[in-house]
Amino acid sequence: MTTLILSGFLALSAGLLAISIFGILTRRNFILLLIAIEIGMNAAILNFVYFAAFSGATTGLDGQAIAVVLIGFAATEIAVGLAIVLALNRLKGSINVAQAIELKL
Amino acid sequence: MIIGVTGTRLRRFEYGGWIAVALSGAAMVVGVLIAFGEAMSPGNYTNVQITWFHVAGAPGTFPNGFTLVMGTLVDPISSLMLVVVTVVGFVVMLYSIGYMHHDKGLPRYYAELSLFLAAMNGLVISNNLIEFFLFWELVGLCSYFLIGFYYEKPSAASAAKEAFLVTRIGDIMFLLGIFLYFSHYATAGPNGGWAANGFVFVHGTTPFLAPSIRGSSTLITVAGIMILGGAAGKSAQFPLHVWLPDAMEGPTTVSALIHAATMVAAGVYLLAVASLFLGFTSFDSLVIVAIGGFTAFFAATMAVVHPDIKRVIAYSTISQLGYMVLAIGAGFAMVGLYHLFTHAFFKALLFLAAGSVIHALGTQDLFKMGGLKKPMKLTAAAFAIGGLALAGIPPFAGFWSKDDVLSSVYSQLGAHPAYWPFFVMAFAAVFLTAYYIFRAWFLAFSGDRIRDPTLPAAHEGPWVMQVPLVILSAFAVGAGLFVFLPGFQGLLLGGAGVAGIPPAYGTADVFLSAVSVLLAAGGIGLAALLWGNGRVFSLADSSVAQPLRRLLLHRYYFKVGYDWIGAKGVYTVSRAADFFDRYVIDGTVHGLERMFGAMSDRLRRMQSGLVSDYAAYIVAGLLGLFAILLVVAPFLIARFGGS
């Protein structure tokens, strides 16, 4: 069995975060933005799991427990986000965030 | 005991002047009792004080820090002043009931007058210079209020402002003087630590007295001049005399109380206190003598031609204050205070008698009056008594004190020849004084009819106005004789406690007295000759004396000059200030404004409203934070070290 090393998993997380940030910065579609945010969030959640797994018995299942809680948070966040998408769609007839710029000075 | 005096005064309210009369009467009783007690046990000091605040000593300044106290001090000087202030205050308060009867704004009047009396009493019994200064300012404020009592009259309002501003010049000098003495006594001098003790005049049961050597330090000289400036402002001495004649715009009662007996005396009192407790250098003394002597003469000349009854008396006040300053400058502080004491009574008497005339006729113009001695016998007699006292005819009060002033200065002429011209001026002023005050008397009271027939028929005032005249007349006759009472002498001598007091009061140089009485009699005779029996003396238009008369009437053009200086000087300063304001301050403000405007204009463009842009800013901020945490912070820790 190949030895699993922590930095490899961390690199995976970093990659996911980079994809997420790229998505946040470039997408104009609100749903795609939400998906990008979710990816970034999952990168963070994964980190909890890695560190919990690699720290052995000292922390028990704390990291995994936090991960489960965070997944729940992410779900609620998405619920709120989708509600905003619906409202935006009703208001503008589109879900392109480039059109929702009334807050600027 | 003293706190009781001020306390009752301060608790002033309500309309009725009778309350004020009652309270000031009570204060008078207390004041006189205090003075009596003091006279019975000369050299006794009663000092009550509380600590106001304490400044801890800093290295190199005050080793023991600096404590400011508030307290009351009863010593011979202050009890003497207490008598003057409370007696005259009570009498004037009583007189006001009749005199001010028809005026509106009476509550204001009585409140201000009571506040004034309270402040004046506080000033007199202050036990340290700082407290003294506080009350001094309060007194000045009341004076401003009362001069401007008829504030609808533009002349009254401007006179009030003038008085306030001119005395303010003096006040600033006074304050500077305090600071200078402070810095001097804090570190050096025989009274070292005195300033650190908060300028308290006494220490335990021993008064802090001026060093007998009048040091020649430049600092002390300048400080003395500053104190003199403060006194000159308050006591209307040359060259800050201009406000007092204009202050006659106030009610006559106010003139009698403030601008004759008490407030203007505060300046003299300050000088006396300063000479006893602070000490003047010989140069200071010379300047004080010069100002006193010159003012005595200078003001008397202006009184000679003036047609306004109150202003004539006002000039005579300036002149008499000059005598007091002269005596203090010559080193006889208690002689000055003695003259202050007698002067307060006969000058208040003159003012109240004049007020009685004004009350009856409604005019202050001497040339419209005449023949008043028949309908107003009491007033005529009172004015005559006041005039005789002022002129210095024995046995009236003014004779004793003025002679003391003259003879004490005379005794110093040998040691200080520089005093000569001012002594001569003061002597000449004796003649002028007698002349102008009897010119006023003859113009107003002699003859058989009023010159201006449109004036109402003259009549005496109500009893509340007559009683004060009688009381003050008694004082004007008798106050000078007080000096033969051992207790009163003890008061004067005990107050001094320093060298320079003539051996006995009232036994002045006989020759000198004879000359001054002759001069005074001559002045009265001349007045009788020119103005007596209803005559009006007028200079021919071609007379060589005309320009002199005009000069005097225009008060040597001093006011015009001051106005000019004020207009030009203030205008120039204002221009400079305006320039500074417009270009430097406004420039800075507007420049800053433009800078921030430009910056915010740039920043505003960042607010695109686009979510992605904001996300980009967040990411950029995050990267910046990482940069700081990972690069800058380790560098700083490596460079400057950390825990």
| Polymer length of chain A | 105
Chain A residues lying within 8 Å of B616, measured CB to CB? 25
Chain B residues lying within 8 Å of A100, measured CB to CB? 609, 611
Beta-carbon separation of A104 and B615 below 8 A: no
**Rounded to the nearest 5 degrees, what angle is found at the Cα of B279, between the Cα atoms of B273 and B280?**
110
**Do residues B297 and B428 make contact, with C-beta atoms less than 8 angstroms apart?**
yes
Please tell me which residue, B443 or B60, carries the higher pLDDT value.
B443
Beta-carbon separation of A24 and B612 below 8 A: yes
pLDDT at B483 over 80: no
pLDDT at B143 over 90: no
Q: Is B607 near chain A, with CB under 8 Å?
A: yes
Centre a 10 Å sphere on the Cβ of residue A40 and count the other Cβ atoms it contains. Answer: 18
Chain A residues lying within 8 Å of B608, measured CB to CB? 101, 104
Q: What is the pTM of this model?
A: 0.67
**Do residues B135 and B123 make contact, with C-beta atoms less than 8 angstroms apart?**
yes
DSSP label of B257: I
Cα within 13 Å of Cα(B610), Cβ side: 15
Alpha-carbon distance of B522 to B474, in angstroms, equals 25
> What's the distance, CA B92 to chain centroid?
18
Chain B residues lying within 8 Å of A102, measured CB to CB? 609
**First-residue to last-residue Cα distance in chain B:** 66
Concatenating the DSSP letter of every residue in B412-480 gives HTTT-GGGHHHHHHHHHHHHHHHHHHHHHHHHHH-SSS-SSTTSPPP----HHHHHHHHHHHHHHHHGG
Select the highest-mean-pLDDT range: B392-401, B428-437, B480-489, B539-548. Answer: B428-437
| pLDDT at residue number B474 | 78
pLDDT at B618 over 60: yes
Per-residue confidence at B7, pLDDT binned at 50, 70, 90?
Answer: very low
Alpha-carbon distance of B635 to B637, in angstroms, equals 5
Please tell me which residue, B16 or B445, carries the higher pLDDT value.
B445
**Do residues B361 and B456 make contact, with C-beta atoms less than 8 angstroms apart?**
yes
Pseudo-torsion of CA B413, B416, B418, B423, nearest 10°?
-30
DSSP label of B585: I
Chain B residues lying within 8 Å of A27, measured CB to CB? 612
Question: Which of A26, A97, A105 is facing B610, going by the closest CB pair?
Answer: A97
| pLDDT at residue number B564 | 65
Q: Which of B612, B617, B618 to mutate to test the interface with A (most CBs of A within 10 A)?
A: B612
- What CA–CA distances, in Å, run from B423 to B84, B241, B292, B388, B430? 27, 20, 10, 22, 11
What is the amino acid identity at position B216?
S
| pLDDT at residue number A80 | 93
Per-residue confidence at B402, pLDDT binned at 50, 70, 90?
Answer: confident
Q: Is A97 near chain B, with CB under 8 Å?
A: yes
**Do residues B328 and B291 make contact, with C-beta atoms less than 8 angstroms apart?**
no
| pLDDT at residue number A15 | 92
Complex ipTM over 0.85: no
pLDDT at A69 over 80: yes
Chain B residues lying within 8 Å of A105, measured CB to CB? 604, 607
Per-residue confidence at B19, pLDDT binned at 50, 70, 90?
Answer: low
Chain A residues lying within 8 Å of B622, measured CB to CB? none
In angstroms, what separates the C-alpha of A25 from chain B's closest C-alpha?
5
pLDDT at B149 over 60: yes
Q: Which of B600, B605, B607, B611 to mutate to test the interface with A (most CBs of A within 10 A)?
A: B611
SS3 content of chain B, % helix, strand, coil (to 5): 70, 5, 25
**Do residues B279 and B210 make contact, with C-beta atoms less than 8 angstroms apart?**
yes
Per-residue confidence at B426, pLDDT binned at 50, 70, 90?
Answer: confident
| pLDDT at residue number A83 | 93
**pLDDT tens-place string over residues B319-359:** 888 888 888 877 777 777 778 888 888 888 888 888 888 87
**Least confident among B432-436, B496-500, B511-515:** B496-500
In angstroms, what separates the C-alpha of A50 from chain B's closest C-alpha?
22
**pLDDT tens-place string over residues A70-92:** 999 999 999 999 998 999 888 88
**Do residues B114 and B121 make contact, with C-beta atoms less than 8 angstroms apart?**
no
Average pLDDT over residues B203-213: 47
Alpha-carbon distance of B430 to B273, in angstroms, equals 26
**pLDDT tens-place string over residues B233-291:** 777 777 777 777 777 777 777 777 777 777 778 888 888 777 766 667 777 778 888 88
Alpha-carbon distance of B63 to B56, in angstroms, equals 9
Question: Which of A24, A33, A104 is facing B608, going by the closest CB pair?
Answer: A104
**Least confident among B64-78, B149-163, B513-527:** B64-78
Alpha-carbon distance of B157 to B144, in angstroms, equals 9
Ramachandran region, residue B446 (left: φ > 0; alpha: ψ -120 to 50; beta: rest)? beta
**pLDDT tens-place string over residues B358-386:** 877 777 777 777 667 777 777 777 888 88
Sign of CA dihedral B134, B135, B139, B145: positive
Q: Is B620 near chain A, with CB under 8 Å?
A: no
Average pLDDT over residues B15-30: 64
| pLDDT at residue number B509 | 62
Given the candidates 3.40.640.10, 1.10.287.3510, 3.40.50.280, 2.40.30.20, the CATH classification of the domain at A2-101 is: 1.10.287.3510
Average pLDDT over residues B204-215: 46
Centre a 10 Å sphere on the Cβ of residue B595 and count the other Cβ atoms it contains. Answer: 10
Question: Which of B604, B608, B615 is facing A101, going by the closest CB pair?
Answer: B608
Q: Is B622 near chain A, with CB under 8 Å?
A: no
Average pLDDT over residues B454-466: 69
What is the amino acid identity at position B366?
L
| pLDDT at residue number B600 | 84
Alpha-carbon distance of A76 to A79, in angstroms, equals 5
